[in-house]
Chains A and B, each alone.
Chain A
Amino acid sequence: MTERIVIVGGGTGGSVLANDLADRLGPELDAGDVEVTLINDGPDHVYKPVWLYVPFGKREPADGRRALDELVDDAVDLRIDRVSEIDTDSQTLRFDGTAPSMEYDHLVLATGSTLEPEQIPGLVEGGHDYYSESGATALREELLEFTEGELVLSVIGTPHMCPAAPLEFVFMTDDWFRERGLREDVEVTYTYPIQRVHGNPHIAEWARPIMEDRDINVETFFNAESVDPDAETVTSMEGTELDYDLLVSIPPHGGVDLIEEAGLGDDGWVDVDKHTLEAAAANNVYALGDTADTGVPNAGSVAHYQAGVVGQRLASEVRGRPATATYDGKTLCFIETGMDAASFVEFDYERPPSPAPPSEKLHWSKLAYNESYWLTARGLL
């Protein structure tokens, strides 16, 4: 009997896993003993880190998009459909429209994050972001013409994708205006929901002095409650009101509704064992990347490493062996500290991050990786 592995979500985690399984289970796939299906709600794979560079006119959204059928191994069945229901009792997926349902033996959820700016009154009308193609493009139009005034970067939702990106944006903004001789006319303010400038205390401790050196204003314990687009103010739950001329936000994030509807976890994040990545509430279900509620950053590197773990575990299960591979929390991240310098961190569940001294070499390493990312998506790097 053919064992059916179904992956939902064709982002970094889903694509890397599909290609990992195609490689790892090659003989079983050839023999028809195993089927691997990757389901995505659109034909393209999107590499989101490109968006950070779009507002500065450095990259185009198209640079982060490639067709999934060019990236995923031919041994994988690629299905473009939107899953509408997960029934973990009968191990069945149902779809929007008239598409027939699909049964699975092993399910992997890699559905990722969605933006929910509408949670904050006035944010859709008054705020910009670089966490979507349309947001990054619209922000580019504003930023390229912005020559004076108050620029506020407000981190509203946590957890959010790429926890370093808000720091990167204000560091790049500072440098970009400085290089153009406009920095004295632009006030840059960074707000964060808790008492420090980043969720991770080690990264916060590293970043805060850099922000002070660069005259980046900081508002901590700032949880945006509402935005008044006419008055151009953003007000926090803590009662602080900030004026802005350009508001850039990290909007609230959520997972997809069908995860909560399936009883797998709250807010679209799957409750998992943070080492095995197995869902707590159902058998034969894994989650990875943003979708897995492990407490580690929502980052592509995490999804990449977790895909390797889930790939090994699934291969073991298919072959009737005990699954021993576990995820140790490994996270790797470049952090831009300007337009031509970057830092780098690597950490896991046990070892905290220790940011490397910023250098041009690390900046070019980040850009080089962004180019070679497509090898990662193909399962080669």
Chain B
Amino acid sequence: MTDIEPEETVDARGAACPGPLMDLIGAIRSAESGDVVRLLSDSDGSLTDVPEWADEAGNELLAVEELDEHNAFYVEKA
């Protein structure tokens, strides 16, 4: 369990790939630098495409939490 307090949570559970990543990108787009966005996704694709995009965009993936049938990704906007 992480103690990171996100500024925004995006619940993309139920959405197929690439929906969760696009929802995350949309939230990061409107976030301020330093804000943390939490993405909830039950798509396996998110386990690879979220870290890849965060790295590509220079944002930091602070943590990935394994929860009940989904994952929570904490991404800090650079």
- Chain A positions within 8 Å of B, measured between CB atoms, are 158-159, 193-195, 199, 201, 221, 223, 225, 237-239, 295
Contact = CB atoms under 8 A, between A and B. Distances in A.
A295 B58 contact: no
Contact of B58 (A194, A199, A239): A239
Interface stretch (B34-42, B48-56, B64-72): B48-56
Nearest to B19: A295
A199 B18 contact: yes
Contact of A221 (B16, B28, B56): B56
Given A237-B28, A238-B57, A295 B22 contact: no
A194 B53 CA distance: 7
* Consensus secondary structure, chain A interface: loop
A237 B52 contact: no
Contacts of A295: 14-16, 19
B18 A158 contact: yes
A159 B56 CA distance: 21
Given A295-B15, A295-B16, A194 B22 contact: yes
B75 interface: no
Interface residues on B, range: 10 to 19
Interface of B: 14-19, 21-22, 25, 28-29, 49, 52-53, 56-58
Nearest to A329: B16
Contacts of B57: 221, 223, 237-239
A158 B22 contact: yes
**Considering residues A199, A201, A225, which has the most beta carbons from chain B within 10 angstroms of its beta carbon?**
A199
Contacts of A193: 18, 22, 25
A310 to B, nearest CB: 20
A166 B53 CA distance: 21
A237 B21 contact: no
B51 to A, nearest CB: 11
Contact of B29 (A158, A199, A221, A223): A223
Nearest to A293: B15
B27 to A, nearest CB: 11
Nearest to B53: A221
Q: Choose among A201, A225, A238 the residue with the greatest number of B CB atoms under 10 Å from its CB.
A: A238
A201 B21 CA distance: 14
Nearest to B11: A266
B74 to A, nearest CB: 18
A233 B17 CA distance: 30
Q: Identify the 6 closest CB pairs spanning chains A and B, nearest first.
A: A221-B56, A238-B57, A295-B16, A194-B18, A158-B22, A199-B18
A117 to B, nearest CB: 14
A223 B19 contact: no
A275 to B, nearest CB: 12
Nearest to B59: A237
A195 B29 contact: no
Nearest to A271: B14
A238 B55 CA distance: 9
12 contacts: A158-B22, A159-B22, A193-B25, A194-B21, A194-B22, A199-B17, A221-B52, A221-B56, A223-B57, A225-B29, A239-B58, A295-B19
B56 A238 contact: yes
A223 B28 CA distance: 11
A194 B49 contact: yes
A379 B70 CA distance: 41
Contacts of B52: 195, 221
B61 to A, nearest CB: 15
A195 B25 contact: no
A338 to B, nearest CB: 27
B32 to A, nearest CB: 14
Nearest to B15: A295
A70 B60 CA distance: 56
